[in-house]
């Protein structure tokens, strides 16, 4: 039977970048002891106090259909959180609760792009971006943020791709690079967005994981709240990846448009999950800090280890739960290095090439195992790179 091109063509010609990850999972299933530093999944579970609230809500009867735009109290809480963090007036009418940030990425593109419209995104990118844009029937166009610029995108490069584009998707703090976009970068982007009359889709799911500097939401820049859709999520901030709860914040009319979409697709998010998310937000910064603290510690561990050698270079990582390592001194591609590391050391990382062309010659390390295991794995990774670099020098 015929199956739609929309879905068979979702990943394009480049594959979906998950080959090494799947190989690691196969090895684990075969009983091998692989250390997984691949996906953005915490090594802790959702806090028991959040689960307690989920249980209380479900047993209390919040198991029927919830309101499609989201439970009013949660929409209010998200609006208050966003307003407190950005200074931009935000009400529940600016908020749609979604089943995770991923659904928000789809809804935003579906809301602002018609079939075939050009939708820009920055390379390196979170693996689902181009497929999500295709899923919304738009045409993904990548704009490179270069390694030599510290992976900060340039306004000129965006402007060159912008004519006729409907939207630009950015992500700061960034997955996979760990880079937090500077004020200058965001102001440059905002300038292009306004000049070209485009939408900015700002994926801010790592906004509680900032290790240096500060996170600026571009919605707070002058003239941007009318044309910015912010994607947020409880997945990373509260270790609630499996709960599938996030949001989109934007102008009321665009949110109304996405509520219509939600009515015909997701039909909202489970009420007991939303109650748990509300409870989690009400715990404020201390809970968010507790969830992000392990990544801050491990980043410091990695920086100390990196400083003691000169083969692997760390892309200055100011945020998110990942480190992007430049392994070009080994003479290997990120992909070859990743597979060789997996076979030799049983350590799984993501090749930079999984995240686009701009991250070639890099690997992404997720800091998602306990401190001891992380420290040991990181030391082995560096020793492996040193050995490869030496072999290369010997051959030269």
Interaction site with ligand PLP (CB under 6 A): 40, 100-102, 126, 171, 175, 203, 205, 233, 235, 241, 246
**Beta carbon nearer to ligand PLP, 21 or 126:** 126
Minimum distance between the CB of residue 262 and ligand PLP, rounded to whole angstroms? 15
- List beta partners, residue 166: none
**Beta carbon nearer to ligand PLP, 101 or 131:** 101
**Beta carbon nearer to ligand PLP, 108 or 330:** 108
Question: In the block, which residue shows the tokens 């997701």?
Answer: 266
Minimum distance between the CB of residue 56 and ligand PLP, rounded to whole angstroms? 24
**Beta carbon nearer to ligand PLP, 166 or 244:** 244
> Rounded to whole angstroms, how far apart are CA atoms 137 and 116?
6
> Rounded to whole angstroms, how far apart are CA atoms 383 and 387?
6
**Beta carbon nearer to ligand PLP, 82 or 311:** 82
DSSP 303-350: HHHHHT-SSSEE----BSSEEEEE-GGGT--HHHHHHHHHHHH-EE-E
**Beta carbon nearer to ligand PLP, 57 or 235:** 235
Cβ(122)–Cβ(154) under 8 Å? no
Tokens of 223: 């003239």
Minimum distance between the CB of residue 37 and ligand PLP, rounded to whole angstroms? 14
Strands (DSSP E) along the chain, which ranges?
35-36, 95-98, 118-123, 139-144, 165-171, 199-203, 228-233, 246-249, 313-314, 322-326, 347-348, 350-351, 362-366
Minimum distance between the CB of residue 241 and ligand PLP, rounded to whole angstroms? 5
Minimum distance between the CB of residue 233 and ligand PLP, rounded to whole angstroms? 3
Minimum distance between the CB of residue 203 and ligand PLP, rounded to whole angstroms? 5
- Of the candidates 110, 100, 89, 88, the residue with the CA atom closest to the CA atom of residue 248: 100
**Beta carbon nearer to ligand PLP, 173 or 338:** 173
Burial class (CB within 10 angstroms; exposed 0-12, middle 13-18, buried 19+) of 111: buried
Minimum distance between the CB of residue 132 and ligand PLP, rounded to whole angstroms? 9
């Amino acid at each position: 039977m015929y199956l739609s091109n929309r879905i068979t063509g979702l990943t394009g010609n480049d594959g979906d970048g998950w080959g090494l990850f799947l190989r690691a999972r196969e090895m684990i299933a075969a009983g091998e002891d692989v250390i997984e530093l691949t996906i953005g999944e915490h090594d802790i579970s959702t806090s028991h106090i959040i689960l307690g609230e989920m249980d209380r809500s479900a047993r209390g009867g919040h198991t029927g259909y919830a309101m499609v735009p989201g439970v009013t109290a949660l929409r209010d809480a998200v609006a208050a959180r966003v307003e407190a963090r950005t200074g931009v007036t935000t009400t529940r009418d600016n908020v749609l609760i979604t089943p995770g940030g991923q659904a928000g990425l789809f809804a935003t593109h579906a809301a602002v792009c018609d079939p075939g419209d050009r939708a820009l995104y920055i390379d390196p990118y979170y693996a689902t971006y181009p497929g999500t844009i295709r899923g919304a029937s738009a045409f993904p166009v990548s704009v490179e943020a270069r390694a030599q610029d510290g992976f900060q995108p340039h306004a000129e490069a965006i402007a060159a791709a912008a004519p006729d584009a409907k939207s630009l998707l950015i992500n700061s703090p960034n997955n996979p690079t760990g880079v937090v976009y500077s004020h200058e970068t965001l102001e440059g982007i905002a300038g292009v967005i306004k000049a070209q009359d485009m939408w900015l889709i700002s994926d801010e799911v790592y906004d509680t994981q900032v290790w240096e500097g500060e996170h600026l939401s571009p919605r707070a820049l002058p003239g941007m709240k009318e044309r910015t859709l912010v994607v947020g999520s409880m997945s990373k901030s509260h270790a609630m990846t499996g709960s599938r709860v996030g949001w989109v914040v934007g102008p009321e009319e665009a949110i109304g448009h996405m509520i219509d979409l939600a009515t015909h697709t997701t039909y909202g998010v489970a009420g007991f999950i939303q109650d748990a998310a509300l409870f989690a937000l009400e715990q404020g910064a201390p809970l968010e800090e507790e969830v992000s603290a392990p990544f801050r510690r491990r980043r410091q561990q990695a920086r100390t280890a990196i400083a003691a050698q000169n083969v692997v270079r760390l892309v200055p990582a100011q945020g998110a739960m990942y480190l992007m390592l430049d392994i070009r001194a080994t003479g290997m591609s990120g992909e070859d290095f990743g597979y060789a590391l997996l076979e030799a050391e049983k350590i799984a990382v993501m090749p930079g090439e999984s995240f686009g062309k701009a991250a070639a010659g890099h690997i992404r390390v997720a800091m998602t195992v306990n401190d001891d295991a992380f420290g040991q794995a990181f030391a082995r990774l560096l020793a492996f790179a040193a050995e490869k670099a030496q072999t290369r020098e010997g051959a030269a």
